[in-house]
Amino acid sequence: MKRRTFTRLAALALAAGVAGTPAMAQEVLKVGAVAPKTGPLAGGAAVSYWPNVKLWISDVNARGGLKVGGKTYKLEAIEYDDQTNPGETIKAVQRLVDQDKAKIVLPPYSTGLNLAAAPIYARYGLPMITSTATTDKADALSAQFPNVFITLGGAKPVVQGVVDTMVKLRDRGDIGKKLAMVNVADAFGIELMNEAKPAFKKAGFDLVYETSYPLGTQDLSPVMKAAKAAAPDAFIAWSYPPDTFALTEQAIVEDLKVGAFFTAVATAFPAYAGRFGKSVEGVLGIGGVNADGEAFKAYAKRHEEVTGAKPDYWASAMVYSSFQVLEKSIEAVGSFDNAAIIKHIKATSFDTVIGPLKFDGHNNNPSFWTVGQWQGGVFKGVASTGRDGAVDVKKKAAWK
């Protein structure tokens, strides 16, 4: 486990005073963050997670700090690299609470690391507003751990969004019914694959090729060669960032001719379009945003100004929104009473950069984007469970 302070945005601020009198230091509040900086998921966390930690702390401090009761605190990030290792995630949370005395500990990155860390967050009673976990276990999780909240949705609605999108393309005559589908063999990919297979069968699709591959697989050319040999009309991958890039590259190399090409996490990254240029036009991926909405555009502008990088078009805004929920609940409660903060989160509708956010009785956010598509150089939402701003899906053109 490696500790690194990501930024000292909370360098002691001097309180205003009369000239000649000693200045008083504003109190600093430690905010713990644990996510991959190394390992297979480091690339995804570097896009969606860590920049939003920096942005949120910058925004809070720019407003004067976090207002808790009669005090205002400047925030300071204490960061740990969990190396994409669940054991390291758990150890980092323990160290943040027991040794670093962090009052706030942000949730980790990815489905698997969040599920693995849920018991330790519950043991400490920490609010755990996950922003990068996709799972249908929300009901069971909230029953076992009432402090855990799911914002990014579950496997069933995500899969249904993809199925509905493929059905629309098929019914328009843009694709046939032959489907190739692959998945990364971790909690995220396995759950989505297990949900998708019967859902596509029920919708009348024929699965002509399927396989899984280990997290961190370097060479995915055999997967794409076999998929192409099956002559599918559409290709779907429940993938993480390294494999999303690798599968797309191999699809271009093999000139995979399909009317619909879907990859999951990282498809919405600006770097994806930067890597593949005009070939991304029409590529489908998990998530999306209301790219033309004023709230997202304002958020994206601040993100680039503060971090020097563009946000992705899916999880980035959700990560920031989850921090907004935590911030507003702490200020509303007026203390660091975690039980009271969790109660407030359960009962409140929040105005965030993704729009209104209100959790249901199982601590699940019912309104989220499920499918997006690259159109005109922007990844736009095409399907959701209740978000405004969707655009119509298009057939995938030939690779450029």
Mean pLDDT (whole number) for 265-289: 96
- Any idea what the Cα angle at residue 59 is, between residues 57 and 60, rounded to 5°? 65
Q: Is the pLDDT assigned to residue 101 strictly greater than 80?
A: yes
Query: For residue range 301-352, what is the model confidence (pLDDT) as tens digits?
Result: 999 999 999 999 999 999 999 999 999 999 999 999 999 999 999 999 999 9
Q: Is the pLDDT assigned to residue 49 strictly greater than 80?
A: yes
Residue 279 Cα to chain centre, angstroms: 24
**Model pLDDT, residue 17:** 38
Mean pLDDT (whole number) for 10-37: 63
**Model pLDDT, residue 25:** 55
User: β-pairing, 28-35 with 71-81?
Assistant: parallel
**Model pLDDT, residue 7:** 43
**Model pLDDT, residue 79:** 98
Query: For residue range 176-206, what is the model confidence (pLDDT) as tens digits?
Result: 999 999 999 998 999 999 999 999 999 999 9
Query: For residue range 120-163, what is the model confidence (pLDDT) as tens digits?
Result: 999 999 999 999 998 888 889 889 999 999 999 889 999 999 99
Percent helix, strand, coil in the chain, to 5, is: 40, 20, 40
Q: Which two tokens stand for residue 348?
A: 């409140």
Q: Which two tokens stand for residue 286?
A: 């998990």
Q: Is the pLDDT assigned to residue 57 strictly greater than 90?
A: yes
**Model pLDDT, residue 135:** 86
What does pLDDT average to over the chain?
93
**Model pLDDT, residue 26:** 76
Q: Which two tokens stand for residue 29?
A: 């509040």
**Model pLDDT, residue 136:** 85
Q: Are 52 and 35 in contact (CB under 8 A)?
A: no
Q: Are 24 and 17 in contact (CB under 8 A)?
A: yes
Judged by average pLDDT, the poorest of 41-50, 132-141, 266-275, 304-313 is: 132-141
> In which element (H, E) is residue 284 found?
strand 284-286
